[in-house]
Amino acid sequence: MSWLFKFLIFSTLYFFSVAEIIACDCKGQATVENAVKNSSLVVTGTVISNILVAVTDSHQIVSFTEDSLKQTTFRYTTIMTKCKVVVGELFKGSISSDTLTFFTGTGEHDCGKEFIVGEKYIVYSSEKTYSKQKYNDLIYSLGKNIFWTDKCTRTTQYNSEEIFEIKKYEKEKPLTFKK
């Protein structure tokens, strides 16, 4: 066999073995009941902005250089999608503004949820971490009115059937804002 043929076979096998490792795996669709139960915030809202940003893990690594000077570096920087959403309905959680920020991945491989400006969504989210994936140990910056979601949370475009199901587990709350 020629070296080119061996290289192509090896590359193909390698690609397919790595693709499984980095692909998103939600382990099935969550039920509405479980999605509500496992979320710290459940809202409906309209996307007003959607941009890619670099998000840095809040854990720092302290290392010493050869001359023993202390050097602090961040562990990871990841490109993520940052969406601003104007809240329409609040079912679970508390918020301090009618405009919230949601972070999610950028696409399929990292379980990112695509948001389209002007569209209305039902968002299941957490304020503690980006993703509940098995090997996720990243703890990104947290803050007021900042939440994390992904396609495994059941976040979806607005539909009345989903709202009907949510109301079985959580009643709609008035939009009052905690300071």
Residue-level pLDDT at 155 = 94
In the β-sheet with 156-157, what is the strand arrangement from edge to edge?
146-148, 99-104, 77-92, 41-56, 120-125, 156-157
Residue-level pLDDT at 91 = 95
Residue-level pLDDT at 126 = 86
Which pLDDT band, with edges at 50, 70 and 90, does 6 fall under? low
Place of tokens 């290392």: 63
Which of the pair, 111 or 70, is modelled with greater confidence? 111
Residue-level pLDDT at 100 = 93
Round to the nearest angstrom and report the end-to-end CA distance of the chain.
Answer: 70
> For the segment 112-160, what is each residue's pLDDT rounded down to a tens digit?
899 999 999 999 998 765 544 433 445 555 667 788 888 888 999 999 9
Q: Give percent helix, percent strand, percent coil of the chain, each to the nearest 5.
A: 20, 35, 40
Environment class of 170 (CB within 10 Å of its CB; exposed 0-12, middle 13-18, buried 19+): middle
Average pLDDT, integer, range 81-98: 93
Residue type, 60: Q
Average pLDDT, integer, range 13-39: 71
> For the segment 31-57, what is each residue's pLDDT rounded down to a tens digit?
999 999 999 999 999 999 999 988 766
Local structure of residue 106 (DSSP, 8 states) = S
Residue-range domains of the chain with CATH: 25-166 (2.40.50.120)
Environment class of 105 (CB within 10 Å of its CB; exposed 0-12, middle 13-18, buried 19+): buried
Which of the pair, 10 or 126, is modelled with greater confidence? 126
Least confident of 3-7, 59-63, 126-130: 59-63
Q: Model pTM? A: 0.72
Which of the pair, 28 or 162, is modelled with greater confidence? 162
State how far the Cα of 23 lies from the Cα of 10, in Å rounded to an integer. Answer: 20
Q: Of the candidates 10, 167, 21, which has an alpha carbon nearest to the alpha carbon of residue 90? A: 167
Contacts of 46 (CB under 8 A, 6+ apart): 85, 86, 88, 118, 119, 120, 121
Residue-level pLDDT at 159 = 95
